[in-house]
A = this chain, B = another copy of it.
Amino acid sequence: MEHTYRLVVSCPDKVGIVAKVSQFISEYGGWLTEASYHSDQDSGWFFMRNEIKASSLSISMREFKDAFTPIAEQYGMEWTISDSNKHKRLVILASHASHCIADILHRWHSEDLYCDIPCVISNHENLRSMVEWYDIPFHYVPINKENKAKANEEILALCQKYQADVVVLARYMQIIPASICQHYSSRIINIHHSFLPSFIGANPYQKAHERGVKLIGATCHYVTEQLDEGPILDQDVIRVNHRHSKDDMVRLGKDVEKTVLARGLRNHLEDRVIAKGNKTIILD
């Protein structure tokens, strides 16, 4: 993968933003390898992502930041710049089910997913051996009605200790408390095993089976304090029919879950996702 800097910006739309930003980049020799823009008619906001060849820039990232700050202030921008070589640190929370976490670990191990995975946290022990095969620390944090608050504190402490940039709930079947949600706003990614907003909450395959739908799906979204209501990163579906039992749906759904989670996560890791209100802009 080429070494790049990713400049991601959102601000109120007006004439001349692209000109200003691209003029700035080009002044320092910046070669765009990718550029995506979106002008949102409803909100009147503008979104942009510029991917700049690192070797083409005549200044350091720190100098870039300093020089860009006045422009950002002038236009009222929310912005980040990130270095493609600096891997985000991904902490995975898992429960008993293995398909999503196994998929992420394999992609990471195959160098198809650029990130570091400093640890896995789970409320079950069954995945320890798989995780440790990858030389990743595994933390067992059992959670139940009695110890919930304390367990969640421990999880937050682990995320902080391992300097998580992003937290993935890989079919982690526990509710994330507001405290953690706020701490990692737009940085906790969940995979819900239904095509949201259908079948919010528990047992979506059971509900899908009862309703007799002809497609089942999965939804990758940022976690907010409202259960299964956060901004959607990606969704997909798979065809089912009357011959499929609820257990068949569970099995078929796994393939959709892991694919959708991997796609959403990938976009997040590549700084392609901007959450605005309850929606996402995916700049690809």
Binding site for B on A (CB under 8 A): 14-16, 18-20, 22-23, 25-27, 29-42, 56, 98-99, 102, 106, 110, 112, 129-130, 133, 195-199, 210-215, 217, 231-237, 241-243, 245, 251, 254-255, 259, 262, 278-282, 284
Contact = CB atoms under 8 A, between A and B. Distances in A.
Contacts of A34: 37, 39, 243
B23 A33 contact: no
Nearest to A50: B18
Given A19-B25, A196-B213, 20 more contacts: A15-B30, A16-B22, A18-B18, A19-B23, A20-B26, A23-B23, A32-B39, A33-B41, A35-B37, A40-B242, A42-B245, A196-B198, A212-B232, A212-B278, A213-B232, A214-B232, A214-B233, A215-B236, A241-B282, A242-B280
Give the number of times this chain occurs in the complex, counting copies.
Answer: 4
Given A215-B195, A215-B235, A243 B38 contact: yes
Given A15-B56, A37-B32, A242-B40, A211 B195 contact: no
Nearest to A197: B198
Contacts of A30: 15
B33 A39 contact: yes
A91 to B, nearest CB: 22
Contacts of A112: 251, 254
5 contacts: A98-B110, A112-B251, A196-B211, A212-B280, A242-B279
Contacts of A31: 14-15
Nearest to A220: B214
Given A237-B215, A242-B280, A243-B38, A19 B16 contact: no
A106 B110 contact: no
A116 B235 CA distance: 34
Interface centre among A98, A214, A215 (most CB of B within 10 A): A214
A73 to B, nearest CB: 19
A98 B102 CA distance: 13
Contact of A22 (B22, B33, B110, B284): B22
A41 B196 contact: no
The 10 closest A-B pairs by CB, nearest first: A212-B279, A19-B26, A16-B26, A19-B22, A18-B22, A35-B37, A214-B235, A19-B23, A242-B281, A198-B198
